[in-house]
């Protein structure tokens, strides 16, 4: 009963009440279950490094269970994000964060490889690889999610974002953009989801054309537009005008129309 009360209190954000219930005699006699909820409480409080020890204890007692390992991976990932305030130099932060992220990779990978049904592990693995600057690792993680999964469409959307993202100082490759274009063709998405992805594809392609990362090639089609400055500008103008039709306010609509005009190819008329 105490654990149920603690769980409800955590859900309601009543952390002191939850902590009180977890100190009760009944909770102390519940074994690993109390440790699990203490870990959950610390996570809810924004203290993942404190929750880690409890999840590790559960994992040690239940070595075949994936849930505590997934919780440990999440703790490592979130702890990496906390380190800015706990270290004194940029070098210390970078080394400490990388170590935490590598621990997260270990546990997310273990869960994802053991049971593809844990889509959250694959998403977590992709996030961590992105933080480490490993685009290919992130792509591979998202590709693990099978078509039979209810999370498959969400994974494909994330895949498009990963492939078009600039990571640290690394631009995506032309093959990344082509793969994104192909993925978008096979996805049935609402325009509110599809159009931002299409915009990201064309903006990245135009950036790479302008800085010389890729050469124009009429044989390459991205998002229905040829790989040229004119083709990508035209596609961007069209995409921004389509987004403007979905804008919830006149102010946002005007901003999008201005952006469409900014991308419009220069002509003699």
Q: 88: pLDDT confidence band, cut at 50, 70 and 90?
A: very low
Provide the angle, in degrees to the nearest 10, between the axes of the packed helices 174-185 and 191-210. Answer: 160
> Cα separations (Å) of 82 from 9, 30, 78, 89, 110?
25, 31, 7, 14, 24
Answer yes or no: do 227 and 259 share one domain: yes
Whether the CB-CB separation of 235 and 225 falls below 8 Å is answered with: yes
Helix 67-82 × helix 32-44 angle, to 10°: 30
* Tokens coding 40: 């959950």
Same domain, 162 and 82: yes
Q: Do 80 and 206 share a domain, yes or no?
A: no
In tens, the pLDDT along 63-77 reads 999 999 999 999 999
Closest CA to 59 of 70, 50, 46: 70
User: Which tokens is 133 given?
Assistant: 């600057």
Which stretches of 62-89 are DSSP H helices?
Answer: 67-82
The reply to whether 245 and 114 lie within a common domain is no
Q: Say whether both 129 and 249 belong to one domain.
A: no
Q: Judge residue 7's burial from the number of C-beta atoms within 10 Å of its C-beta, 0-12 exposed, 13-18 middle, 19 or more buried.
A: middle
CA-only gyration radius of the chain, Å: 23
Considering the domain architecture, whether residues 108 and 142 belong to the same structural domain is answered as: yes
User: Do 76 and 158 fall into the same domain?
Assistant: yes
Residues 162 and 110 in one domain: yes
pLDDT in tens, 137-183: 999 999 999 999 999 999 999 999 999 998 877 899 999 999 999 99
**Residue 210, domain CATH:** 1.25.40.10
Strand partners, 225: 222
Give how many domains the chain has, as a whole number: 2
* 201 shares a domain with 187: no
Residue 115 clears pLDDT 60, i.e. is over it: yes
Task: Judge if 73 and 145 occupy the same domain.
Answer: yes
Q: What is the mean pLDDT of the chain?
A: 92
Q: What's the rounded Cα separation, in Å, for the pair 219 and 202? A: 16
Which residues, 6 or more positions from 89, have their beta carbon under 8 angstroms from its beta carbon?
Answer: none
Distance of CA 214 to the CA centre of its chain: 27
Boundary (domain end) residue, out of 144, 167, 191: 191
Are 43 and 176 in a shared domain? yes
Asked whether 177 and 197 are in contact (CB, 8 A), the reply is no
Residue 22's contacts (CB-CB under 8 Å, 6 or more residues apart) are: 2, 3, 6, 34, 37, 38, 41
Q: Is this model's pTM higher than 0.85 or not?
A: yes
Q: What is the pLDDT of residues 250-263, one digit of tens each?
A: 999 999 999 999 99
Residues 108, 218 within the same domain = no
Last residue of a domain, one of 191, 208, 228: 191
* Domain that residue 263 falls in: 192-269
End-of-domain residue from the set 191, 207, 228: 191
């Amino acid at each position: 009963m105490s654990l149920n009360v603690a769980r409800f209190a955590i859900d309601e954000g009543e952390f002191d009440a939850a902590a009180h219930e977890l100190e009760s005699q009944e909770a102390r006699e519940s074994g690993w279950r109390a440790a699990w909820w203490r870990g959950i409480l610390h996570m809810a409080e924004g203290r993942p490094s404190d929750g880690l020890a409890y999840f590790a204890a559960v994992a040690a007692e239940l070595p075949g269970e994936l849930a505590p390992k997934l919780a440990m991976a999440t703790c490592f990932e979130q702890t990496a994000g906390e380190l800015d305030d706990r270290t004194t130099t940029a070098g210390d932060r970078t080394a400490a964060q990388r170590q935490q992220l590598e621990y997260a990779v270990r546990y997310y990978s273990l869960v994802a490889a053991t049971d593809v049904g844990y889509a959250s592990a694959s998403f977590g693995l992709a996030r961590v690889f992105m933080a480490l600057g490993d685009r290919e690792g992130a792509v591979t993680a998202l590709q693990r999610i099978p078509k039979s999964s209810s999370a498959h469409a969400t994974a494909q959307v994330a895949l498009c974002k990963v492939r078009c993202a600039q990571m640290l100082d690394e631009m995506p490759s032309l093959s990344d953009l082509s793969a994104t274009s192909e993925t978008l063709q096979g996805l049935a998405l609402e325009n509110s989801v599809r159009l931002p992805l299409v915009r990201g594809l064309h903006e990245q392609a135009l950036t790479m054309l302008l800085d010389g990362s890729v050469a124009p090639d009429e044989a390459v089609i991205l998002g229905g537009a040829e790989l040229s400055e004119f083709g990508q500008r035209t596609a961007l103008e069209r995409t921004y005008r389509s987004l403007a039709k979905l804008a919830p306010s006149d102010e946002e609509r005007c901003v999008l129309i201005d952006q469409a005009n900014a991308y419009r190819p220069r002509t003699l008329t």
